[in-house]
Amino acid sequence: MAGPVSQSLHLPIGPYTEAWQEIDGLLDEMANLARSPVEVPAFYGALLDGLLRALKADGGAVWQIVPAMPVARVAQAGAAPAISDEMVRWVEGWRLAGEIAESCLVLPPHSTSARSAVPNPSNRPLILRPVQCEESATYLLAVALDAAAPRAADSAAAQVLNLFCETAAEFHQRRELQERRRLHTNLREFDQLVARLHANLDLDKTAYALANDGRLWIGCDRLSVGLIHGQSVRVRAISGSDQVDRRSQQVGSLEDLLAAVAASGEPLHWPGESKGGELPPQLDTPLQAYLDLAHARRLIVAPLRAQAAAESRQDAGPPIGVLLAETFDDVQSTERLRQRVDDVVRHGGAALANSIAFHELPLRPLQAGMAQLLRSLRRRPVPALMAAVCAAAVAAALAFIPAEFSVPALGTLQPEGRRHLFAPASGVVERVAVAHGQRVAPGDELLRIRDPELDLDYSRTSGELQTHQARLASIRARRSTRSTATDPQQEDRQLAAEEEQLKQQLSSLAAQLELLERRHAELVVTSPITGIVLTWNPEELLRDRPVREGQMLMTVADPAGPWILELRVPDTDIGPLLAAQRQGPSELPVTFLLETEPAATYRGRIAKVAEASDSAGGASPSVLVTVQLESQTPASARAGAGVVARIHCGPKSIGYVWLHDLIDAVRTQLLF
């Protein structure tokens, strides 16, 4: 680089060769420094040092000049000159003139405004050289030359200053390019953040995208998102965590802090302008409680609104959530942290509002399915038309093609001649006279019940009767013998009265004894019909067991007689059955099969439908339907055998036959 410099300065090769080689070396150092990531003050400080060494100057300074802003000194070295208003005006004129302006301005010592555009009251010559950045800032370099140097060297010094300033211009160009690259990278990352926030309308996915992707954009250590539910806040997502344990103490304290900030409606910065006790107690108490658990160095809590970009908070609406950003170090500047949090709050609030609105839509899964169907139809219209025609044909077929409609029911096969026997009184089963399957006739004893209280009453009444009979015999004997009393007539009258009283008491006791004997006879349970005992193992089931009055003891049935079906029709299916009875014959046909013989199908007709529903065995309400068999009694008929039946209710549209359960579910669950 020595050759071109020497040629540009038109200096002879000789005593100046070593000096120019030194200048070339300094320029190389400045060029390397311009390509390094150095800050502006450090670069200009090194530039001034190299420039003073190259020019053997007394001092120099660099100022930053921005329109409508105070002049700021960037660097100085040696006996630095002072800046004047004329220098600032000259720089502004130079910037406006552009390429036609002179780059360097040499100011002789003790020059005045009459002799130069910029006066120089000092005793040293000054060289001014502005460096224009692409931004609005201009850097002014001023070098004070040695007063003893010949003035002919001023032009060479100006050329050297130009070379150094070209390096400074290259430095600013590189910084500008790096800044633009950084801004481009930030814009691309921010665009990706916004895209991920609005990529999904699922509330949980949006909250976790806001927590995880928002943390990367902000550069904090942890980001938490809470949603407002009434007067409280529930933490929905925490960065780096798949699930939120709301039972933990730290999450509970976090929700208290978020709720307090949501109630205030204002962001909270800690540490910030308001510290310690200057915060209201509604904020300071939950803040200190959370800091004791989280140990954060800095945190920002900001409410999330649906329209965070509105001009006022009234236009933005009430908060829908709260965001908490935490850092555990002081590496990132507070201003940059706040700016990044504001970016996330602005777009995160809108994304959450959209997800909440979508989450609260009625029939959301059905609407999503319909939207997907419509998108498919728009992409492929011809297949869509064919599908619509097919769907219309299917709908018409479902509506107009008739089919047999039947109501399913479960039940049992029972002999029509069947009697349940109940306990006539409370007591203890003393004797069981029959076994399971034993044939009995009307009047045969089945079991005997002993009532201890009845036995006691019978013994007491019988004893009283005997006592009164003996007393009556004694009185009659006394009346039949001659009396030795002083007044025999009076004694006879007394005995006659006592005899009459005993007769009445004996009559009453006899009636009581007859009633007790009748009750005692009723404790013998006999068969009312001819049949067999259906109760399994009655000896083991009832012998010496206490029973209550009205308790069912046995069942006797006549298997030789006709058989019936007892069906349980749920309340949800009884409506079509009753409607079919009103429109046609009440004796609707029934087909059934036995669970013990599923290969054979039998027929019958409805004989009776109960007037009320009941919940037999604690099941859902159902109606008892009795069916009379039309066909021959099944050979494998057994009392209580399980039956699967279908009650035929006449023709209906095939769509109703197939889809009546779905139609009823829609009517009861959705439309009601």
Instruction: Provide the pLDDT for residue 224.
Output: 92
Cβ atoms of residues 326 and 298 within 8 Å: yes
Tokens 């030795």, residue located: 484
What are the φ/ψ torsions at residue 545 (nearest 5 degrees)? -100, 135
Residue 648 burial (10 A CB sphere; 0-12, 13-18, 19+)? middle
Asked if residue 484 has pLDDT above 90, the reply is: no
Instruction: Provide the pLDDT for residue 80.
Output: 80
- Please name the amino acid found at residue 72: A
Integer Cα distance of 261 and 161 in angstroms: 58
Q: Which residue has the higher pLDDT, 492 or 52?
A: 52
Asked if residue 314 has pLDDT above 60, the reply is: no
Cβ atoms of residues 336 and 327 within 8 Å: no
Instruction: Provide the pLDDT for residue 191.
Output: 86
What are the φ/ψ torsions at residue 517 (nearest 5 degrees)? -65, -40
Instruction: Provide the pLDDT for residue 644.
Output: 93
Sheet of 222-229: strands edge to edge? Answer: 232-238, 222-229, 321-327, 298-304, 268-270
138-to-93, 98, 157, 169, 272 alpha-carbon distances in Å:
12, 12, 21, 11, 35
Tokens 């869509």, residue located: 384
pLDDT (average), residues 118-141: 82
Sheet of 138-144: strands edge to edge? Answer: 72-78, 59-65, 138-144, 126-132, 105-107
Integer Cα distance of 671 and 664 in angstroms: 10
**Per residue in 462-472, pLDDT tens?**
888 888 888 87
Among residues 429, 457, 416, the alpha carbon closest in space to that of 551 is found at 429
Among residues 296, 302, 287, the alpha carbon closest in space to that of 220 is found at 296
**Per residue in 240-275, pLDDT tens?**
888 888 888 998 999 999 999 988 888 998 886 544
Range of weakest confidence among 3-12, 118-127, 535-544, 626-635: 3-12
Across-strand partners of 418?
557
**Per residue in 117-127, pLDDT tens?**
788 778 888 88
pLDDT (average), residues 144-161: 78
Q: Residue 238 gets which letter from DSSP?
A: E
Q: Where are the beta strands (DSSP E) in 12-69?
A: 59-65
318-to-198, 349, 630 alpha-carbon distances in Å:
21, 11, 74
Integer Cα distance of 61 and 49 in angstroms: 10
Greatest alpha-carbon pair distance for the chain in Å reads 194
Across-strand partners of 225?
237, 323
pLDDT bin (cut points 50, 70, 90) of residue 455 is: confident
pTM, entire model:
0.47
Count of residues making up the chain: 672
Asked if residue 3 has pLDDT above 50, the reply is: no
Integer Cα distance of 456 and 436 in angstroms: 33
Asked if residue 100 has pLDDT above 50, the reply is: no
pLDDT (average), residues 639-651: 90
Integer Cα distance of 330 and 298 in angstroms: 8
472-to-467, 483, 494, 506, 630 alpha-carbon distances in Å:
9, 17, 13, 9, 71
Across-strand partners of 143?
60, 127
pLDDT bin (cut points 50, 70, 90) of residue 590 is: very high
Integer Cα distance of 328 and 220 in angstroms: 8
Among residues 71, 43, 37, the alpha carbon closest in space to that of 164 is found at 43
Scored b (16 or more CB within 10 A) or e, 308-319 reads beeeeeeebeeb
Tokens 């079919």, residue located: 580
Integer Cα distance of 85 and 72 in angstroms: 13
Asked if residue 552 has pLDDT above 70, the reply is: yes
Residue 375 burial (10 A CB sphere; 0-12, 13-18, 19+)? exposed
pLDDT bin (cut points 50, 70, 90) of residue 4 is: very low
Integer Cα distance of 314 and 147 in angstroms: 68
Sketch out the chain's domains with CATH numbers: 2-179 (3.30.450.40), 200-359 (3.30.450.40), 419-553 (no CATH), 562-670 (2.40.30.170)
Range of weakest confidence among 182-191, 211-220, 544-553: 182-191
Cβ atoms of residues 175 and 195 within 8 Å: no
Asked if residue 478 has pLDDT above 80, the reply is: no
Q: Which residue has the higher pLDDT, 632 or 432?
A: 432
DSSP letter for each residue of 327-358: ESSS-S-HHHHHHHHHHHHHHHHHHHHHHHHH
H helix or E strand, kind and range, residue 13: none
Integer Cα distance of 106 and 129 in angstroms: 9
pLDDT (average), residues 487-493: 74
- The whole-chain average pLDDT of the chain stands at 83
Among residues 653, 572, 624, 582, the alpha carbon closest in space to that of 405 is found at 653
pLDDT (average), residues 623-651: 87
Instruction: Provide the pLDDT for residue 14.
Output: 40
3-state secondary structure of 576: helix
Q: What's the chain's Rg over C-alpha atoms?
A: 56
Instruction: Provide the pLDDT for residue 176.
Output: 86
Range of weakest confidence among 71-80, 151-160, 308-317, 633-642: 308-317
Report the percentage of the chain scoring pLDDT > 70: 91
Structure tokens belonging to residue 312: 């006022």
89-to-9, 108, 113, 423 alpha-carbon distances in Å:
30, 19, 13, 124
Q: Which residue has the higher pLDDT, 492 or 119?
A: 119
Range of weakest confidence among 71-75, 321-325, 488-492: 488-492
**Per residue in 405-426, pLDDT tens?**
888 999 999 898 888 989 988 8
Integer Cα distance of 45 and 79 in angstroms: 14
Integer Cα distance of 26 and 193 in angstroms: 46
3-state secondary structure of 604: strand
Asked if residue 64 has pLDDT above 50, the reply is: yes
